[in-house]
Structure 1
Amino acid sequence: MVGRYVQTEFIPASPPPILDRGIWHWLRKNLFSTPLNCVISIGLVFAITYIMVPLVNWLVVNAVWTGTDRQACTTVTQGGLMPDGWSGACWAFVKANFWQFIYGRYPDGERWRVNLTALVVIIINLPLLIPSVPLKIANALVSLFVVPVIGYFLLFGGHFNLPTVETQLWGGLLVTLTIAYCSITISLPLGSLLALGRRSKMPVVHLISVIFIETVRGIPLVAVLFIASVMLPLFLPQDMTFDKFLRALIGVALFTSAYIAEVVRGGLQAIPRGQYEAAEALGLGYVKTMLLVILPQAYSLVIPGIINVLIGMFKETSLVYIIGMFDLLGIVRQAIQQAQWSTPQTPLTGMVFIGLVFWIFCFGMSRYAHFIERRLNAPKVNGAEG
């Protein structure tokens, strides 16, 4: 008789009440949970509206999208959301100079070489960025040693019947991305070696690593670029020439490697001693222990720090403008000085365009880092990711 009154099946869960789900529940829980939160949320809405409406009006509504010279961007507004005497953003200026912003003064007939180099970089590095693709070590070696060689022959030329294009003609986004890519591929392995050297028990290796790291970290990047561009040729033989672009690239890479070294060293210090002992118990030597056991764990711990350094390095590539190299910032500032585009809106529009380009790349790097972090920290269920 007892079995009649015992529940043998679970009753399906009922949906939550209407007031505990949906957009209104989220708003009440996160923005209007207390009187103070209500005041703050309403104040922020008014502040954002006060700022965003004129900004959108300047960027889009009153913006000038077509035109061949400054006359298109000199429309004067009276009243409304914009200050008197101001028109919207002069996107016609960006449109007219867009390809110069991308390639600099690279010859028009040879720009296919830049496009091909970009395609090679994407094809080779895309599998490296996808966690599920195998052969990561081989892919990384190709990216580190093969891609720069291909880029040199394609961009600079002088071989395989390709005309030489001097680096003085390079400019715009081409220079920014080339310096950033080469600096990343050089600074990551070099910074890791410096981190291992600083923790080495060999006095000479330890001392050299400490001197390099502390010296470079104590000098601003502007000084490093100035030394590489102006002072270094003074110490070289008169018959020896050293391309300015290559000098700037090496300077940025060495500067970044010193900061990468300290980030990686922090990850190495966080690895428990038991990991070293386990590797020794398996009979692994120093190189295999570091490559297969220690460094992968250290990298997973310091991904935010590494990405932070690389984002900072990417933005600081604009400093090459001070040594006469026209990266994206330099080429836009040069275009702003054109008499045919001399308007009050042109400089601000150019700076907004630069900020937008840098934000897209930096935001992409940041989101990829978050993706890798979530994947590495995902719980494991029966040997597979949950």
Structure 2
Amino acid sequence: MQEHDRSFVRTEMVADQAPPVSDHGLLSWLRRNLFANATDTVFTIIGIALVVMIVPPLVQWAFISAQWTGSDRTVCATLAQGGIQPDGWSGACWAFVDAKFQQFMFGRYPDEERWRVYLTGFLFVVLLVPLLIPSVPRKGLNALLLFGVFPIVGFFLLSGGAFGLKPVATPLWGGLMVTLVLAYVGISVSLPLGILLALGRRSHMPVVKLVCVVFIETIRGVPLITILFMASVMLPLFLPPGTSFDKLLRALIGVALFASAYMAEVIRGGLQAIPKGQYEGADALGLSYWKKTNLIILPQAIKLVIPGIVNTFIGLFKDTSLVYIIGMFDLLGAVRQNFSDANWASPQTPITGLVFAGFVFWLFCFGMSRYSIFMERRLDTGHKR
């Protein structure tokens, strides 16, 4: 047999070489993420142009030209407007926010009683933080304290009238405190009630299904403002003479019922996404309806719709500002109420107050969004190999 020439075959391994410059480093990242093709390049250039147009003037207005301290409107008005700023001056009036900060937080809650608000907030944070950390044990007890005991304690602390505490009427409540109270009650009530409504809508019992469908479709068919007006203005007309509910309580009920209808549809979407085999497997094990639902169906369904649940929570948190329509002053309402203060009447006062309120809303909504992403990643185990 003729012997083949093997001189082209390597007898030793090639030494490791550095990767091409174009595959790593800043230039590689820019090319992959911003200039991968012609379309990406065009949008990148447009985005850079928008940043250059928007960011420098915004920084100039919010920080460089801003007025941070002062006792009245003169620090935020030009000479022509009766102030001390040069003509043509344009900057944020953070002095207004500083002067009105306590009202933005507490409304007209008495100064000497605000320690009760601080204590309620401290208890809320102490109970909420461990519940949000997966590694902290005793979640059941934690949830019981946060959603069962804390509302009762918080009610007596904020309202007073018992245990030697001075009564504080809810019309004196306002600012961020009212926003957080509405959001807490709405979130705490809408999730369990939404789950029950979703299960009822999928029930095989015609009466239960009809009641849930009518409730959900009726609530979803009208705006929240209508619900708030109904709860605040029309509800007393259907009560016996001399019977009335606190205006804050009416708003709490309206917001909670409104959010629960939307939450029900989010949960129903998760229930419909569960494969039929999960139901059949639970039935084959002889589990009752409630055991099947609590142990097998709901854990999977809720995990699938975490983005929708948090989206509903964020929408609810922002919708609390609508209570201003019925004469309640949440954070946004308190800010708008102070626009009428003649001591701070200036062209820059309204926009500064609204920017402050928007930033506070963004902080809370962004926090809920980031925690939602964290939980999604932690629970995203169904399709991993």
TM-score of the pair, normalised by structure 1: 0.91
Structure 2 CA distance for partners of 1:137 and 1:291, relative to 1, 3 Å: farther
Could you tell me which residue of structure 2 aligns to residue 200 of structure 1?
Answer: 203
Residue of structure 2 equivalent to 1:236: 239
Amino acid at match of 2:334: I
Aligned equivalents of 2:204, 2:383: Cα separation in 1: 37
For the residues of structure 1 that align with 2:29 and 2:101, how far apart are their CA atoms? 43
Corresponding residue for residue 3 of structure 2: none
Residues 114 and 154, structure 1, Cα contact 8 Å, conserved in 2? yes
Whole-angstrom CA distance in 2 between matches of 1:283 and 1:139: 32
Equivalent of residue 121 in structure 1, options 121, 124, 128:
124
**Which residue identity lines up with residue 250 of structure 2 in the other structure?**
R
Q: Is the 8 A contact 1:76 1:87 kept in 2?
A: no
Residue 44 (structure 1) shift: 2.2
Letter of the structure 1 residue corresponding to residue 216 of structure 2: I
For residue 288 of structure 2, the aligned residue among 285, 289, 296 is 285
Judged with a 3 Å threshold, the aligned counterparts in structure 2 of structure 1 residues 87 and 234 are, in CA distance, closer, same or farther, namely same
Instruction: Return closer, same or farther for 1:257/1:14 CA change in 2, 3 Å cut-off.
Output: farther
Correspondence 1:31-46 to 2 at 5 A: 31-46=34-49
The partner residue of 1:258 within 258, 261, 264 is: 261
Supply the AA of the counterpart residue of 1:346. T
Which whole-Å CA distance do the structure 1 matches of 2:178 and 2:132 have between them? Answer: 23
RMSD: 2.2
Contact 1:267/1:298 (8 A) holds in 2: yes
Q: Which residue identity lines up with residue 342 of structure 2 in the other structure?
A: A
The corresponding residue for 2:5 is none
Bigger mean CA offset, 246-255 vs 41-50: 41-50
Q: Deviations over 1:106-149 (max 9, x none)?
A: 11111111111111111112122112223333332332221111
Q: 1:317 to 1:234 in 2, by over 3 A?
A: same
Call closer, same or farther: CA 1:209–1:69 in 2, change over 3 Å: same
Aligned length: 371
Determine if contact 1:62/1:89 at 8 Å carries over to the other structure: yes
Deviation at 1:47, TM superposition (A): 2.0
Paired amino acid for 2:130: P
Gap runs ≥5 in structure 1: 78-82
Match of 1:110 among 99, 108, 113: 113
1:57-76 correspondence to structure 2 within 5 Å: 57-75=60-78
Give, in angstroms, the shift of residue 35 of structure 1.
4.6
Pairs within 5 Å for 1:185-196: 185-196=188-199
Change (3 A) 1:380 1:132: farther
**Residue in structure 1 matching 2:52, options 37, 40, 49:** 49
Tell me the distance in 2 between the aligned counterparts of 1:18 and 1:216. Answer: 60
Query: Which residue pairs with 1:80 in the alignment?
Result: none
**Distance between the aligned counterparts of 2:316 and 2:87, measured in 1?**
40
- Using a 3 Å threshold, how does the CA distance of structure 1 residues 180 and 12 change in structure 2: closer, same or farther? farther
- Residue in 2 aligned with 1:131? 134
Shift of 1:212: 0.5
1:17 maps onto 2:16 in alignment: no
Q: Judge which range, 28-37 or 288-297, deviates more.
A: 28-37
Compute the displacement of 1:283 (Å).
Answer: 2.9
Structure 1 residue 153: Cα displacement: 0.9
1:316 aligns to 2:324 (yes or no): no
Deviation at 1:6, TM superposition (A): 8.7
Q: Tell me which amino acid in the other structure corresponds to 2:215.
A: F
What TM-score, normalized to structure 2? 0.91
Post-superposition CA distance 1:158-212 (Å, at most 9, x none): 1111111110000000000000001100000000000000011111111111111
Deviations 1:316-350 (A, max 9, x none): 10000010001111110111110000000000001
How do 1:213-232 and structure 2 match up within 5 A? 213-232=216-235
Alpha-carbon distance in 2 for matches of 1:118, 1:373 = 28
1:144–1:186 CA contact under 8 A, matched in 2: no
The more displaced of 90-99 and 270-279 is 270-279
Secondary structure in 2 matching 1:97: helix
2:178–2:331 contact (8 Å) kept in structure 1: yes
Q: 1:275 to 1:84 in 2, by over 3 A?
A: farther
- Which segment drifts farther, 133-142 or 99-108? 133-142
User: What secondary structure sits across from 1:162 in the alignment?
Assistant: coil
CA distance in structure 1 between the partners assigned to 2:18 and 2:156 by the alignment: 64
Alpha-carbon distance in 2 for matches of 1:70, 1:146: 45
Distance (whole Å) between structure 2 residues aligned to residue 12 and residue 135 of structure 1: 56
CA distance in 1 between partners of 2:285 and 2:276 (Å): 15
- Paired residue type of 1:111: R
Please say if residues 67 and 91 of structure 2, whose CA atoms lie closer than 8 Å, have aligned partners that are also in contact.
yes
Distance in 1 between the 2:29 and 2:21 partners?
Answer: 12
Corresponding position: 1:156 with 2:156: no
Q: 1:28 to 1:380 in 2, by over 3 A?
A: closer
Partner of 2:35, secondary structure, is coil
List alignment gaps of at least 5 residues for structure 2.
1-9, 81-85
Query: Quick check: 1:184 aligned with 2:158?
Result: no
CA distance in 1: counterparts of 2:342 and 2:178, whole angstroms: 25
